Amino acid sequence: MDYLYYLFVVLGFFAVVLFLEGVFLTWNAYRGPEKTRIARRLQAISASGGSSEAASLAKRRLLAQTPELQSFLLSMPRVHQLDRLLLQSGLNLSVAVFLGVTVISALCGGALAMFLGMPLLLKVAAVIVAGALPLIFILRAKSKRMVVIEAQLPDALDLMGRAMRAGHAFPSALRMVGSEMPEPIASEFRTVFEEINYGISTQEALTNLGKRVPSTDLSYFVIAVLIQHETGGNLSELLGNISGIIRERLKLMGTIRVLSAEGRLSAWILTLLPFTLAFMLQIVNPKFLSVLWTDPMGIKMSIIAICMMLVGIFSMSRIIKIRV
C-alpha cells in the first residue's frame, strides 16, 4: 500500500511538471520574446503602407487573431490607417483589441449616464465621449512618442554623420543608429536598415519611414537624403547642417512653450471647469440642473452656452498654438 502511495505521489509530481512545461511552451509560442519581436517587425511593415505582397500579407496577419474577425476588419474602410496610428503610438495593440476597448468604454459611459439618471441626449453624448476616450489616449501617446523622436533626431543625425565621415556607408550608419540610440528612434531606423538589407530601395525605405513617423523634422531628413542620392554631394555635412537646424528649432520651441505655459494652463482650466462643475452638481443634486433639459427655455440656454463654449475653446486653442 505504501508503494502505491509513493508511486501516486511521483506520478502526480511528473504530471504537474509536465503541465507547467506545457503551459510555458504554449505561452512562449504565442507571447514569448521571439513572437513579440516578429510581431513588432510585422507591425512596422504593416504600417509602412508598402505595395508589395509581403507587406499586404503582414497587414492581414496583424489586424486580429481569428480569421473571421480578420476578414471583417479588412472590409472596414481606412482600417490600415488605424493600424498605422496604433503603431505610431508605440502601444502594443492590434486593431481588434483597440476596437474592443472602444466598445467597452462606450458601454461603460452609457451605463454611468443611466445610473446618474441623465436624459436621452446626455446619454448619447456620454456614450460618444466615453467611446472617444481610447482614441484620445492613442493620439496622446502618438504625440508624446513623436516629441521624443524629434528630440532624439539631432543626436541620431550626428551619429550618422560621424559614422559616414569614418568611412561607413549609409546603410551601416542606419544600423549604428538602430543599435546604439535609445528607443523609440532606434526601432524606426532599425526598420529602415532591415528594409534596405532585404532588398527594398533606399527611396522606398525612407518614404516608409516618413509615413510611419509623421514629423516635420524627419521629413526634412528624408527629403534631403533623397535629393542627395539623386544629385550627389557630401551627405555627412548635409546631416550635420540638418541636425543644427533641428536643434535650433527645438530650442526656439522650448522657449515658446515656457512663455505660453500660463496661457495653456488657463485654457485647460477654463475648458474643463464648466463640465467638471456640472458633473459634480449632477451627482450631488440631480434635480438642480434638470431645468436645463426639461424646460424649453433651459434647452435654448444650454444650446447657446455650449455653442459659446465651443467658440471659446477654439479661440483659446488658436491663441496658444504657435507654429515654428
pLDDT of residue 34: 62
pLDDT higher than threshold 50 for residue 61: no
Task: Please indicate, yes or no, whether residues 236 and 184 belong to a single structural domain of this protein.
Answer: yes
pLDDT of residue 55: 42
Q: In this structure, what C-alpha cell is assigned to residue 27? A: 505561452
Task: Please indicate, yes or no, whether residues 151 and 243 belong to a single structural domain of this protein.
Answer: yes
Query: Mean pLDDT, the chain, as a whole number?
Result: 78
pLDDT band per the 50, 70, 90 thresholds, residue 261: confident
Assigned domain for 173 exists? yes
Which residues does 230 contact at the CB level (< 8 Å), separation at least 6? none
Assigned domain for 314 exists? yes
d(CA 158, CA 162) in angstroms, rounded, equals 6
pLDDT higher than threshold 60 for residue 50: no
Enclosing H/E stretch for 96: helix 95-115
pLDDT of residue 7: 61
Task: Please indicate, yes or no, whether residues 190 and 210 belong to a single structural domain of this protein.
Answer: yes
Task: Please indicate, yes or no, whether residues 204 and 153 belong to a single structural domain of this protein.
Answer: yes
Instruction: Report the candidate in 178, 170, 175 with the shortest Cα–Cα distance to residue 201.
Output: 170
pLDDT of residue 30: 61
Q: What is the mean pLDDT of residues 74-96?
A: 78
pLDDT of residue 303: 85
Task: Please indicate, yes or no, whether residues 217 and 166 belong to a single structural domain of this protein.
Answer: yes
pLDDT higher than threshold 60 for residue 42: no
> Are 228 and 69 in contact, with CB atoms under 8 Å apart?
no
d(CA 109, CA 126) in angstroms, rounded, equals 5
> Are 223 and 245 in contact, with CB atoms under 8 Å apart?
no
Assigned domain for 169 exists? yes
d(CA 255, CA 161) in angstroms, rounded, equals 28
Containing structural domain, residue 11: 1-30
Assigned domain for 58 exists? no
List Cα–Cα distances, 248 to 65, 191, 251, 323, in angstroms. Answer: 45, 28, 5, 14
Percentage of the chain exceeding pLDDT 90: 2
Task: Please indicate, yes or no, whether residues 267 and 321 belong to a single structural domain of this protein.
Answer: yes
pLDDT of residue 251: 87
Higher pLDDT, 56 or 189: 189
Q: What is the mean pLDDT of residues 245-262?
A: 84
Assigned domain for 284 exists? yes
Higher pLDDT, 128 or 82: 128
Assigned domain for 215 exists? yes
Query: Tell me, what CATH number does 170's domain have?
Result: 1.20.81
Task: Please indicate, yes or no, whether residues 242 and 305 belong to a single structural domain of this protein.
Answer: no
Which residue type sits at 27? W
Residue range 2-41, pLDDT digits in tens:
566 566 666 666 676 666 776 766 766 666 666 666 666 5
Task: Please indicate, yes or no, whether residues 153 and 225 belong to a single structural domain of this protein.
Answer: yes
pLDDT higher than threshold 70 for residue 122: yes
pLDDT of residue 286: 75
Q: What is the mean pLDDT of residues 252-273?
A: 82
